[in-house]
Structure 1
Amino acid sequence: MKKIIFITTIFTFLTMSCSNLNKKEKNDDSSKDNIVKNDSIKSSENMIEQKITPCIWVETTDAKEVIDYYLSIFKDGKMKEHHQYKNPPEAGGGNFETAIIEIAGMELSILAAGPFFKFNESVSFVINTKDQKETDYYWDALTANGGQEGSCGWCKDKYGLSWQIVPVEYFDLINSNNPKVREKALKNTLTQKKIILSELK
């Protein structure tokens, strides 16, 4: 049963990106049966110039909740597309939602299709922060309300997605031509959760 739902969900999500090329088909009564609601401000004219778009499968069927959460953290973000779907009876029924948001200049696809898969640290998003203040902001925002602190600049948000919050100056320290600078930065990183630059210099 999970396999059928998974295949149906993936198929619907992939075909969603072609919706702008088939506007006439949206008036077909048969397609209306499976699509509950579409909130979309996306068109071929305003699509982001991004060849590869990460997609995250969250353990909820409420994509709007996920959108609101990430846009509360990334203040310059915006929702570009939101869709609600009904699984057909042969796929077990039930609803799921998809969305596309833009955060920090990156387009991110959201698949809110229920608790079938969990995140792990094998995939993480790196936020390159400009200074300690911005590092503190993202760290605090992502670890609050159910998030989790990790080690060496790693943390998880409330959905379990892993993030690395890294000041750009950190890379200068660990790649310094001075071996003493490199060694101190790397050694002290191992003792930290959130990256604190002043302790690495």
Structure 2
Amino acid sequence: MPTITPFLWFDAQAEEAAALYATVFPNSRICDVTRYGPAGPGPEGQAMTVVFELDGLRFTALNGGPHFQFSEAISFVVPCETQDEIDAYWEKLTANGGAPSQCGWLKDRFGLSWQIVPTVLPELIGDRDPDKARRATEAMLKMTKLDIAELRRAHAG
């Protein structure tokens, strides 16, 4: 079976974005950069494509111009075991122009959407006890960055 690789279209920030992501996530690196030559269509020397890995998952980023923008229709989920992990990813991905949203969603400074989610969340909001699940869900819906301790308190009642 072929390997499926996310392909991200940037205006002109593919190399900058890949460099940021490679510093945010462990076991990540830039693998290859292909640059535009004199034939273009981008400025000669600018990165055309950037192949990078985030914790072993390969991505390709393209500097394709302003024709397409990211939307929340596509996002990347980052499962976190601890609040410290949530806080660290949240801080790094919202830095320098990123924006928080609600329910653990954010946009980084390039407009790419991320979900920073505690691994315990499905257990809390999917509890077989409907009251516990409702309380946890209601708490989550009021949050921007998710707070594990608060979600657990709401779940417990």
TM-score (norm 1): 0.69
Partners of 2:60 and 2:132 lie apart in 1 by: 39
> Are positions 1:57 and 2:9 aligned together?
yes
Give the equivalent residue in structure 2 for 1:118: 69
Deviation at 1:93, TM superposition (A): 6.2
Residue 172 of structure 1 aligns to which amino acid in structure 2? E
> 1:195 is paired with a residue of what secondary structure?
coil
Give the equivalent residue in structure 1 for 2:55: 104
Unmatched runs of 5 consecutive residues or more in structure 2: 153-157
Give the equivalent residue in structure 2 for 1:189: 140
Larger Rg, first or second structure (1 or 2): 1
Identify which range, 112-121 or 141-150, moves more after superposition. 112-121
**8 Å Cα contact 2:9/2:63 also seen in 1:** yes
Give the equivalent residue in structure 1 for 2:155: none
Deviation at 1:50, TM superposition (A): 6.9
Give the equivalent residue in structure 2 for 1:130: 81
**CA shift in 2, pair 1:187/1:99, >3 Å:** same
> 2:116 is paired with a residue of what secondary structure?
strand
**8 Å Cα contact 2:125/2:137 also seen in 1:** yes
> 1:66 is paired with a residue of what secondary structure?
helix
Greater per-residue helix proportion: 1
Q: Deviations over 1:138-174 (max 9, x none)?
A: 1111011110000011000010000000010111101
1:169 alignment partner, one of 109, 120, 131: 120
The size of the alignment, in residue pairs, is: 150
Give the equivalent residue in structure 2 for 1:159: 110
% identical aligned pairs: 36
**CA shift in 2, pair 1:93/1:195, >3 Å:** closer
**CA shift in 2, pair 1:93/1:171, >3 Å:** closer
Partners of 2:33 and 2:120 lie apart in 1 by: 37
**CA shift in 2, pair 1:142/1:93, >3 Å:** closer
TM-score (norm 2): 0.87
Unmatched runs of 5 consecutive residues or more in structure 1: 1-48
Q: Deviations over 1:19-58 (max 9, x none)?
A: xxxxxxxxxxxxxxxxxxxxxxxxxxxxxx9721001011
Partners of 1:113 and 1:86 lie apart in 2 by: 14
